[in-house]
Amino acid sequence: MLGPFWWPSLLIGAAEYATAAVRLRSAIDVFAELVESAVDTHQPALAAAFSLTLANGSITPALGADVTDRLNKGA
Burial class (CB in 10 A: 0-12, 13-18, 19+), 2: exposed
> Whole-angstrom Cα distance, residue 1 to residue 9?
9
59, 36 in Cβ contact below 8 A? no
What's this model's pTM, rounded to 2 decimal places? Answer: 0.62
Q: What is the pLDDT of residue 18?
A: 97
Write out pLDDT tens, residues 19-39.
999 999 999 999 999 999 998
Greater pLDDT, 55 or 30: 30
Angle at 50 between CA 32 and CA 42, to 5 degrees: 40
Q: What is the pLDDT of residue 69?
A: 87
